[in-house]
Structure 1
């Protein structure tokens, strides 16, 4: 399948790379099919893109929670995740949505509404974590700067 993207141009995509979000994403409920793209030229970046296969302009920056909050463990009722199929440690993939404003020091991730994907069924959803200490705008600039410094030292 050939898809158009804003950031990566036209991409030939295998059907098995399409992730279906039955209810869409928050704010983008009409778009159900996505793929995950990586900038292979930027091997240092931890950010990937959740790219809509239906709307070229819709590409959401995402990051693994392990990069910014190692103890991240969202609580949600099992019923919410049932449509994804059986989740295991091997097929569960979690991403956080990244917001990158013009002032990079204000870059945040949304801990409150992670994206959950079953890699086996290629089904995903965006949930609202029940954890009261998880916020919508969790600043990651300092964390990312510290990680860069640590990698330079090692």
Structure 2
């Protein structure tokens, strides 16, 4: 199938690779079908793009939180486990949506640079079944700013 996107132009998408978020994402409940894309660049952190197939303007940058030393421990409800069609933690992956705050400086050595992430809404993915959900974590509200500290 073909999908038109604002960020990537026209994409050819194999229907078997579509990730379905049955409940959508927080604030975007009508966006339920996504394609996970990536750009492989040498020596660059692995960033994936979660492109909505329901709204061509909706794209998120997502990362594996473990690559930044963030390890999640939370319990899925029975409803969430059913939605993901899995009870085995080994079947699931966690992804974190990241963004560059408006007005942020992209230079790594200047104040205001860096990528921010609201870690209270990770994505939980069953890549084998092509299912996902956004897990809203209740508790302390905080953001993490990720900065390249250089070598």
TM above 0.5? yes
Superposed CA RMSD in Å reads 1.9
Where do 1:69-84 residues align within 5 Å?
A: 69-70=69-70, 72-79=71-78, 80-84=80-84
More helix by share: 1
Number of the residue aligned with 1:117:
125
| Residues 87 and 118 in structure 1, CA contact (< 8 A), matched pair in contact too | no
Query: What is the TM-score normalised by the length of structure 2?
Result: 0.82
1:137 paired with 2:135, answer no
User: Structure 1 residue 92: deviation in Å?
Assistant: 1.1
| Residues 30 and 54 in structure 2, CA contact (< 8 A), matched pair in contact too | no
Report runs of 4+ in structure 1 exceeding 2 Å deviation: 87-91
1:59 paired with 2:59, answer yes
Structure 1's unaligned 5+ residue stretches are 150-154
Structure 2's unaligned 5+ residue stretches are 107-112
| Residues 84 and 126 in structure 2, CA contact (< 8 A), matched pair in contact too | yes
Count of residues in Structure 1 that have an aligned counterpart in Structure 2: 141
